[in-house]
Structure 1
Protein backbone atom coordinates (compact mmCIF):
# COMPACT_ATOMS: atom_id res chain seq x y z
CA UNK A 1 0.00 0.00 0.00
CA UNK A 2 1.23 3.44 -0.85
CA UNK A 3 1.27 6.37 1.54
CA UNK A 4 -1.77 7.83 -0.18
CA UNK A 5 -3.68 4.57 0.34
CA UNK A 6 -2.73 4.48 4.02
CA UNK A 7 -3.90 8.05 4.46
CA UNK A 8 -7.18 7.25 2.70
CA UNK A 9 -7.65 4.20 4.94
CA UNK A 10 -7.05 6.37 8.01
CA UNK A 11 -9.72 8.79 6.78
CA UNK A 12 -12.13 5.88 6.27
CA UNK A 13 -11.48 4.63 9.80
CA UNK A 14 -12.03 8.06 11.33
CA UNK A 15 -15.21 8.38 9.26
CA UNK A 16 -16.37 5.01 10.58
CA UNK A 17 -15.75 6.14 14.16
CA UNK A 18 -17.56 9.46 13.70
CA UNK A 19 -20.53 7.72 12.06
CA UNK A 20 -20.76 5.25 14.95
CA UNK A 21 -20.87 8.03 17.52
CA UNK A 22 -23.44 10.07 15.59
CA UNK A 23 -25.62 7.01 14.98
CA UNK A 24 -25.58 6.29 18.70
CA UNK A 25 -26.53 9.84 19.58
CA UNK A 26 -29.47 9.90 17.15
CA UNK A 27 -30.70 6.40 18.03
CA UNK A 28 -33.26 7.58 20.64
CA UNK A 29 -34.86 10.07 18.20
CA UNK A 30 -38.67 10.08 18.51
CA UNK A 31 -41.69 11.79 17.03
CA UNK A 32 -42.33 13.79 20.19
CA UNK A 33 -43.61 17.11 18.87
CA UNK A 34 -40.50 19.04 19.85
CA UNK A 35 -38.05 18.39 17.03
CA UNK A 36 -40.25 16.17 14.87
CA UNK A 37 -44.05 16.13 14.47
CA UNK A 38 -46.04 14.67 17.36
CA UNK A 39 -46.92 11.00 16.85
CA UNK A 40 -47.20 10.06 20.54
CA UNK A 41 -43.48 9.45 20.94
CA UNK A 42 -43.16 6.86 18.16
CA UNK A 43 -39.44 6.02 17.70
CA UNK A 44 -37.67 6.93 14.47
CA UNK A 45 -34.52 4.78 14.12
CA UNK A 46 -33.05 6.77 11.23
CA UNK A 47 -29.53 5.99 12.45
CA UNK A 48 -29.99 2.31 11.54
CA UNK A 49 -30.78 3.36 7.98
CA UNK A 50 -27.73 5.62 7.90
CA UNK A 51 -25.57 2.73 9.14
CA UNK A 52 -27.03 0.37 6.54
CA UNK A 53 -26.16 2.81 3.76
CA UNK A 54 -22.77 4.16 4.82
CA UNK A 55 -20.93 1.23 6.40
CA UNK A 56 -21.05 -1.04 3.32
CA UNK A 57 -19.71 1.87 1.29
CA UNK A 58 -16.79 2.28 3.70
CA UNK A 59 -16.05 -1.45 3.54
CA UNK A 60 -16.18 -1.39 -0.24
CA UNK A 61 -13.82 1.57 -0.46
CA UNK A 62 -11.34 0.04 1.96
CA UNK A 63 -11.53 -3.28 0.11
CA UNK A 64 -10.37 -1.55 -3.07
CA UNK A 65 -7.16 -0.42 -1.34
CA UNK A 66 -5.68 -3.85 -0.67
CA UNK A 67 -6.25 -7.54 -1.27
CA UNK A 68 -5.93 -8.27 2.46
CA UNK A 69 -9.19 -9.03 4.25
CA UNK A 70 -8.05 -7.20 7.38
CA UNK A 71 -7.82 -3.94 5.45
CA UNK A 72 -11.28 -4.40 3.95
CA UNK A 73 -12.81 -5.32 7.32
CA UNK A 74 -11.16 -2.46 9.24
CA UNK A 75 -14.07 0.05 8.97
CA UNK A 76 -16.55 -2.60 10.14
CA UNK A 77 -14.35 -3.58 13.08
CA UNK A 78 -13.77 0.05 14.09
CA UNK A 79 -17.51 0.74 13.86
CA UNK A 80 -18.35 -2.29 16.04
CA UNK A 81 -15.69 -1.33 18.58
CA UNK A 82 -16.97 2.26 18.76
CA UNK A 83 -20.58 1.12 19.11
CA UNK A 84 -19.54 -1.16 21.96
CA UNK A 85 -17.30 1.30 23.77
CA UNK A 86 -19.34 4.47 23.35
CA UNK A 87 -22.69 2.70 23.58
CA UNK A 88 -22.05 0.75 26.76
CA UNK A 89 -19.57 3.06 28.48
CA UNK A 90 -20.82 6.50 27.55
CA UNK A 91 -19.77 9.81 29.04
CA UNK A 92 -20.14 9.83 32.81
CA UNK A 93 -21.08 6.15 32.85
CA UNK A 94 -24.32 6.74 30.94
CA UNK A 95 -25.75 3.97 28.80
CA UNK A 96 -26.10 5.53 25.33
CA UNK A 97 -27.12 2.32 23.55
CA UNK A 98 -30.84 1.96 24.20
CA UNK A 99 -32.08 -1.32 25.63
CA UNK A 100 -34.77 -2.10 23.09
CA UNK A 101 -35.28 -3.15 19.48
CA UNK A 102 -33.61 -0.02 18.09
CA UNK A 103 -30.19 -1.14 19.36
CA UNK A 104 -30.57 -4.50 17.61
CA UNK A 105 -31.75 -2.74 14.48
CA UNK A 106 -28.70 -0.47 14.54
CA UNK A 107 -26.30 -3.40 14.99
CA UNK A 108 -28.00 -5.52 12.35
CA UNK A 109 -28.51 -2.62 9.97
CA UNK A 110 -24.85 -1.68 10.12
CA UNK A 111 -23.06 -5.00 10.49
CA UNK A 112 -25.03 -7.29 8.18
CA UNK A 113 -24.86 -5.22 4.96
CA UNK A 114 -21.21 -4.43 5.66
CA UNK A 115 -20.40 -8.10 6.22
CA UNK A 116 -22.24 -8.96 3.00
CA UNK A 117 -20.18 -6.34 1.16
CA UNK A 118 -17.02 -7.71 2.77
CA UNK A 119 -17.84 -11.23 1.62
CA UNK A 120 -18.66 -9.99 -1.87
CA UNK A 121 -15.42 -8.08 -2.18
CA UNK A 122 -13.36 -11.01 -0.96
CA UNK A 123 -15.16 -13.63 -3.04
Structure 2
Protein backbone atom coordinates (compact mmCIF):
# COMPACT_ATOMS: atom_id res chain seq x y z
CA UNK A 1 0.00 0.00 0.00
CA UNK A 2 1.34 3.41 -0.95
CA UNK A 3 2.19 5.84 1.81
CA UNK A 4 0.27 9.09 1.96
CA UNK A 5 1.86 12.33 0.87
CA UNK A 6 3.50 14.69 3.32
CA UNK A 7 2.49 18.34 3.51
CA UNK A 8 5.62 19.30 1.63
CA UNK A 9 4.79 16.88 -1.17
CA UNK A 10 1.21 18.18 -1.38
CA UNK A 11 2.49 21.75 -1.52
CA UNK A 12 5.04 20.82 -4.19
CA UNK A 13 2.37 19.06 -6.25
CA UNK A 14 0.08 22.08 -5.94
CA UNK A 15 2.90 24.44 -6.93
CA UNK A 16 3.84 22.33 -9.97
CA UNK A 17 0.17 22.20 -11.00
CA UNK A 18 -0.02 25.99 -10.71
CA UNK A 19 3.12 26.25 -12.84
CA UNK A 20 1.43 24.06 -15.46
CA UNK A 21 -1.61 26.38 -15.46
CA UNK A 22 0.49 29.52 -15.86
CA UNK A 23 2.66 28.00 -18.58
CA UNK A 24 -0.38 26.75 -20.50
CA UNK A 25 -1.94 30.22 -20.36
CA UNK A 26 1.27 31.87 -21.52
CA UNK A 27 1.73 29.39 -24.34
CA UNK A 28 -1.85 29.66 -25.63
CA UNK A 29 -2.07 33.45 -25.46
CA UNK A 30 1.29 34.07 -27.14
CA UNK A 31 0.95 31.33 -29.76
CA UNK A 32 -0.40 33.74 -32.44
CA UNK A 33 2.75 35.90 -32.15
CA UNK A 34 3.88 37.31 -35.51
CA UNK A 35 6.99 39.24 -36.52
CA UNK A 36 8.02 41.24 -39.53
CA UNK A 37 7.31 44.77 -40.67
CA UNK A 38 3.65 43.96 -41.30
CA UNK A 39 3.31 41.10 -38.83
CA UNK A 40 3.28 38.55 -41.61
CA UNK A 41 5.65 35.87 -40.33
CA UNK A 42 4.22 33.54 -37.64
CA UNK A 43 6.69 32.88 -34.83
CA UNK A 44 5.36 30.17 -32.45
CA UNK A 45 8.05 30.53 -29.78
CA UNK A 46 5.69 29.22 -27.14
CA UNK A 47 5.84 25.77 -28.73
CA UNK A 48 9.55 25.77 -27.89
CA UNK A 49 8.78 26.94 -24.35
CA UNK A 50 6.27 24.11 -23.98
CA UNK A 51 8.71 21.55 -25.39
CA UNK A 52 11.13 22.40 -22.59
CA UNK A 53 8.88 23.15 -19.64
CA UNK A 54 6.14 20.53 -19.83
CA UNK A 55 8.50 17.50 -19.73
CA UNK A 56 10.48 19.29 -17.02
CA UNK A 57 7.33 19.62 -14.89
CA UNK A 58 6.58 15.90 -15.30
CA UNK A 59 10.16 14.89 -14.41
CA UNK A 60 10.26 17.26 -11.43
CA UNK A 61 6.97 15.89 -10.10
CA UNK A 62 8.31 12.34 -10.36
CA UNK A 63 11.46 13.31 -8.44
CA UNK A 64 9.98 15.57 -5.76
CA UNK A 65 6.55 14.08 -5.16
CA UNK A 66 6.07 10.56 -6.53
CA UNK A 67 6.41 8.91 -9.95
CA UNK A 68 2.80 7.77 -9.81
CA UNK A 69 1.61 11.38 -9.63
CA UNK A 70 3.82 12.74 -12.39
CA UNK A 71 0.83 12.79 -14.75
CA UNK A 72 -0.73 15.71 -12.84
CA UNK A 73 1.17 18.61 -14.49
CA UNK A 74 0.62 17.12 -17.95
CA UNK A 75 -3.10 16.60 -17.33
CA UNK A 76 -3.46 20.12 -15.93
CA UNK A 77 -1.58 21.58 -18.91
CA UNK A 78 -3.75 19.73 -21.45
CA UNK A 79 -7.01 20.70 -19.73
CA UNK A 80 -6.02 24.38 -19.49
CA UNK A 81 -4.85 24.52 -23.12
CA UNK A 82 -8.10 23.04 -24.40
CA UNK A 83 -10.48 24.88 -22.06
CA UNK A 84 -8.88 28.30 -22.47
CA UNK A 85 -7.97 27.70 -26.11
CA UNK A 86 -11.44 26.66 -27.20
CA UNK A 87 -13.66 28.61 -24.78
CA UNK A 88 -11.34 31.52 -24.00
CA UNK A 89 -12.22 34.71 -22.20
CA UNK A 90 -15.60 35.95 -23.32
CA UNK A 91 -16.16 32.82 -25.40
CA UNK A 92 -13.43 33.78 -27.88
CA UNK A 93 -11.48 31.09 -29.70
CA UNK A 94 -7.91 31.71 -28.52
CA UNK A 95 -6.22 28.59 -29.87
CA UNK A 96 -5.35 29.43 -33.47
CA UNK A 97 -6.80 27.06 -36.05
CA UNK A 98 -3.68 26.24 -38.04
CA UNK A 99 -0.38 24.38 -37.85
CA UNK A 100 0.80 26.37 -34.81
CA UNK A 101 -1.80 24.76 -32.54
CA UNK A 102 -0.72 21.30 -33.67
CA UNK A 103 2.91 22.29 -33.16
CA UNK A 104 2.17 23.47 -29.62
CA UNK A 105 0.31 20.29 -28.72
CA UNK A 106 2.85 17.99 -30.35
CA UNK A 107 5.94 19.77 -29.07
CA UNK A 108 4.65 20.01 -25.51
CA UNK A 109 2.40 17.07 -24.76
CA UNK A 110 4.26 14.39 -26.71
CA UNK A 111 7.67 14.82 -25.02
CA UNK A 112 5.96 15.14 -21.64
CA UNK A 113 4.05 11.91 -22.27
CA UNK A 114 7.30 10.17 -23.23
CA UNK A 115 8.97 11.40 -20.03
CA UNK A 116 5.92 10.26 -18.06
CA UNK A 117 5.96 6.78 -19.59
CA UNK A 118 9.70 6.40 -19.12
CA UNK A 119 9.51 7.48 -15.49
CA UNK A 120 6.62 5.16 -14.71
CA UNK A 121 8.38 2.30 -16.48
CA UNK A 122 11.57 2.83 -14.48
CA UNK A 123 9.60 3.07 -11.22
CA UNK A 124 7.75 -0.17 -12.02
CA UNK A 125 10.98 -1.92 -12.98
CA UNK A 126 12.65 -0.76 -9.76
CA UNK A 127 9.75 -2.13 -7.72
CA UNK A 128 9.95 -5.45 -9.55
CA UNK A 129 13.72 -5.72 -8.98
CA UNK A 130 13.34 -4.81 -5.32
CA UNK A 131 10.94 -7.67 -4.65
CA UNK A 132 13.03 -10.35 -6.33
TM-score, scaled to structure 2: 0.84
Q: What is the aligned partner in structure 1 of residue 94 from structure 2?
A: 96
Give unmatched runs, 5+ long, in structure 2: 122-132
Q: What is the aligned partner in structure 2 of residue 109 from structure 1?
A: 107
Give unmatched runs, 5+ long, in structure 1: none
Q: What is the aligned partner in structure 2 of residue 66 from structure 1?
A: 66
> Per the alignment, in what secondary structure is the counterpart of residue 97 of structure 1?
coil
Q: What is the aligned partner in structure 2 of residue 43 from structure 1?
A: 42
> Per the alignment, in what secondary structure is the counterpart of residue 118 of structure 1?
helix
> Per the alignment, in what secondary structure is the counterpart of residue 99 of structure 1?
coil
Greater Rg over alpha carbons, structure: 2
1:7 aligns with 2:11: yes
Q: What is the aligned partner in structure 2 of residue 16 from structure 1?
A: 20
Q: Distance in 1 between matches of 2:67 and 2:88?
A: 35
Q: How many residues align?
A: 116
Q: Distance in 2 between matches of 1:82 and 1:55?
A: 13
CA RMSD of aligned residues (A): 1.1
More helix, by proportion = 2
Deviation per residue, 1:74-120 (Å, 9 max, x gap) = 00000000001000001111100000000000000110010010011
Q: Distance in 1 between matches of 2:109 and 2:41?
A: 25
Q: Distance in 1 between matches of 2:19 and 2:26?
A: 11
Q: Runs of at least 4 residues of structure 1 off by over 2 A?
A: none
1:26 aligns with 2:30: yes
More strand, by proportion = 1
TM-score, scaled to structure 1: 0.90
